A and B are shown apart, each in its own frame.
Chain A
Amino acid sequence: MKPVPVPLVIVALAAVGCGEKAPEAPPAPKELNVYIWTNYHSPAAIARFEKEHGVRVVIDTYDNNEVIEQKLQSGTAPYDIVVPSDYMVVSLARQGLLTALDEARLPGLSNLDPLLDWGKTNSGPRHSVPYLWGTTGFAYRTDKIAEPVDSWAPLFDPRFQGRVVMLDDMREDFAVALKSSGQSLNTTDEALLRAAQKRLIDQRPLVLAYDSSDFAGKIQAGDGWVVHGYSGELARVARESGGTIRYVLPKEGATFAVDNLAIPTAARHVDLAYAFIAFMLQPDVAADTTNVTGYPTANAAARPLVLPSLAGDPAVFPTAEALGRCELMQDLGETTALLDTLWTEIKAR
């Protein structure tokens, strides 16, 4: 009996599957390629956009800014919309990787909160539109720390040896060391950076783990008692914990970051990208995005439409005064090399 040509069957299946992805002409004008942080959008809003414009939105995700830079630099990935953080926008714009935006095509810009529209203060064309933002403070367990807390001190307190969790992020950790010593987190002064490095090295015995993804889980599970992390995640577990976990934006100040919609120069569907940004600037869409993701919107007109549980949460929407003590991260240019060496020395002990 002849053997059933199983290999041929497999080949056939593969051919059918692969046929869809044969190299083709530029994509039909009915598609928008979006590169955005994971869980950083409202699926309902996207679906609405798709219906209103009769297009398909393809969403790819990433979890750190540098990946955007890489992909755009290598010229290998033609996204129409990317969502870099503020300092990354500056860097990308300087490299000519983002198109200057025609403000006339974006009437919704007036909806933005001026405090958060950081790009407007710079001279020159606008390269991005603020989308969502957040702060990087820390959360602590009220069942382990009775006294009120409002500064970075607990992260350096020997009482919490093995119970501190820091982000696994060079800039963020240096920011903690610098801000808690009263310095700017954007300093390029080598002496100050080395002092900050020493602070972080001395902190090592206290640190249970460096983690940029499961920090919220660690405080929830009780592994960590004082956990450095992003406001969106920590505010969420704080709300869910019913008071056991509290988020703090320290009085010395912290980093805050604004994530922005931008159009790469390599984008293939520029008109559609503009339509997407204009759509996101609508108050109801912006409010919906905040309600779904838990991150605050940069859209002032949307505030009244945000869920009260979020709007009234100081962890999500800090006061202007608290925000005033925070700094945006700026690209450090040449100093990045020094910082990387210092960070390696901290981690390689």
Chain B
Amino acid sequence: MGGAPAPREPGPGGRVPPLHPSPWLSSPTLLLLAAGLVVPLALIFLDSFRLRGVYGGFTPIPDLWEHLASGAFLGNYRRATQGIYLLIFWRSLWIAALTTALCLLAAYPVAYWLAVMVRPSRRPLGLLLVVVPFWTSFVVRTFAWVWILRTEGLVNNVLLATGLADQPLHLLYNPFSVLLGLVYGELPFMILPIYAALERLDRSLLEASADLGAGPLTTFWRVTLPLTVPGVAAGVILVFVPSVGQFLISDMLGGARTMLAGNLIQNQFFGGRNQPFGFAVSFLLTALVLLILWAYTRLVKRGRLEDLL
């Protein structure tokens, strides 16, 4: 499949009908993305070199040439790479990486169970059940963990009532609760792609492996896992990226004690009133994310992001 089609004979109508759908079908989408993303991004990229206005807008640059020649135009980027901001980036990336790893570990067995062990007729239900929680408000279902974990929350009430603890446990507003909230919010995005990859797996390969004497673990490690790498990679991307830029979960479940990249950016557009700096931070963050993803796909066997699609 793929490659130049063989020349074909005319059909009953006497013409040779074109075989393939027109490539122009993709142009509306691509144009939309160009207009909706590339252009805005280019605009804010230019804006990231500007000067902030006192009221949060922009200050006109008095002398453009001077601004460029003296390197002043890099002011926002220079600031964004200072110690305190690098620390913020590092923390955000680290939390996102941890979340991704935990999600992967937690999700794979579930996806495996659904794709391999559950009856095919029941699988759609299983998938649906994974997705249904998303049909409530993200804000509220995250906040529900506060009800569960707080001092007078569900868990502590139960523990105290049953006598399993005599002091309420401090389960909230710490890194544990933030990770919990993040993993909770992203888990379905890891389950679904891995499920899709597993479901498409050719079972005969697994049977062959078993026939050749490999135990279940060996089969998994040397056959299943490598074959599902595209699904895993897709899941990793779908979990890692949102986790890097998030701020709601760390605020609600972490008590907003730590400023992360998402908070930093958001601040610039509200209280901080420094849009150009906000744009610079956004670009740096995006660049870091892309760098990491590129490095990750290099590690992954096929080595190219496009092959994941």
* Interface of A toward B, CB cutoff 8 Å: 64, 66-67, 69-70, 73, 91, 94-95, 162, 168-171, 204, 207-211, 214, 221-223, 333-334, 336-337, 340, 343-345, 347-349
- Minimum Cβ distance to chain B for residue A66 (Å): 4
Q: Closest A-chain residue to B272, C-beta based?
A: A340
Q: 15 more A-B contacts (CB under 8 A) besides A169-B271, A210-B256, A223-B172? A: A66-B270, A66-B271, A67-B270, A168-B256, A207-B255, A209-B256, A211-B251, A221-B151, A222-B152, A223-B151, A336-B54, A344-B259, A344-B264, A347-B256, A348-B259
19 examples of A-B residue contacts, CB within 8 angstroms:
A64-B270, A66-B56, A67-B270, A69-B56, A208-B173, A209-B256, A214-B143, A222-B151, A336-B54, A336-B273, A337-B274, A340-B267, A340-B271, A340-B273, A343-B271, A344-B88, A344-B267, A348-B258, A349-B258
In the bound complex, residues from chain A placing their C-beta under 8 Å from that of B272 are 170, 336-337, 340
In the bound complex, residues from chain B placing their C-beta under 8 Å from that of A171 are 271
**A7–B54 CA distance with the chains assembled, in angstroms:** 51
- Minimum Cβ distance to chain A for residue B93 (Å): 14
B88 with A170: CB separation less than 8 A: no
B54 with A333: CB separation less than 8 A: yes
B257 contacts A by Cβ under 8 Å? yes
A168 with B251: CB separation less than 8 A: yes
**A211–B172 CA distance with the chains assembled, in angstroms:** 13
B84 with A344: CB separation less than 8 A: yes
**A334–B53 CA distance with the chains assembled, in angstroms:** 9
In the bound complex, residues from chain B placing their C-beta under 8 Å from that of A168 are 251, 256
Q: Closest A-chain residue to B87, C-beta based?
A: A348
- Minimum Cβ distance to chain B for residue A85 (Å): 13
In the bound complex, residues from chain B placing their C-beta under 8 Å from that of A214 are 143, 146
In the bound complex, residues from chain A placing their C-beta under 8 Å from that of B251 are 168, 211
B55 with A211: CB separation less than 8 A: no
A170 with B52: CB separation less than 8 A: no
**A25–B85 CA distance with the chains assembled, in angstroms:** 47
B55 with A69: CB separation less than 8 A: yes
A334 with B256: CB separation less than 8 A: no
In the bound complex, residues from chain A placing their C-beta under 8 Å from that of B283 are none
B150 with A223: CB separation less than 8 A: yes
- Minimum Cβ distance to chain A for residue B251 (Å): 7
B263 with A347: CB separation less than 8 A: yes
- Minimum Cβ distance to chain B for residue A24 (Å): 23
Q: Closest B-chain residue to A348, C-beta based?
A: B259
Most interface-central of B143, B254, B264, B273 (chain A CB within 10 A): B273
B56 with A348: CB separation less than 8 A: no
* Interface of B toward A, CB cutoff 8 Å: 52, 54-57, 84-85, 87-88, 91, 143, 146, 150-153, 170, 172-173, 251, 254-259, 263-264, 267-274
A348 with B55: CB separation less than 8 A: no
In the bound complex, residues from chain A placing their C-beta under 8 Å from that of B84 are 344-345, 348
Partner of A94, one of B55, B87, B88, B254: B55
- Minimum Cβ distance to chain A for residue B70 (Å): 20
A162 with B256: CB separation less than 8 A: no
In the bound complex, residues from chain A placing their C-beta under 8 Å from that of B263 are 347
**A336–B85 CA distance with the chains assembled, in angstroms:** 18
A170 with B258: CB separation less than 8 A: no
Q: Closest A-chain residue to B147, C-beta based?
A: A221
B274 with A340: CB separation less than 8 A: yes
- Minimum Cβ distance to chain B for residue A132 (Å): 22
Partner of B150, one of A210, A221, A345: A221
In the bound complex, residues from chain A placing their C-beta under 8 Å from that of B88 are 344, 348
- Minimum Cβ distance to chain A for residue B28 (Å): 16
- Minimum Cβ distance to chain B for residue A332 (Å): 10
In the bound complex, residues from chain B placing their C-beta under 8 Å from that of A222 are 151-152
Q: Closest B-chain residue to A168, C-beta based?
A: B256
Instruction: Indicate whether A347 sits within 8 Å of B258 (C-beta atoms), given known contacts A66-B271, A70-B269, A340-B271.
Output: yes
Q: Closest A-chain residue to B146, C-beta based?
A: A214
**A94–B87 CA distance with the chains assembled, in angstroms:** 37
Q: Closest B-chain residue to A210, C-beta based?
A: B256
**A177–B153 CA distance with the chains assembled, in angstroms:** 31
In the bound complex, residues from chain A placing their C-beta under 8 Å from that of B143 are 214
In the bound complex, residues from chain B placing their C-beta under 8 Å from that of A162 are 170
In the bound complex, residues from chain B placing their C-beta under 8 Å from that of A91 are 55
In the bound complex, residues from chain A placing their C-beta under 8 Å from that of B87 are 348
In the bound complex, residues from chain B placing their C-beta under 8 Å from that of A69 are 55-56
- Minimum Cβ distance to chain B for residue A40 (Å): 19
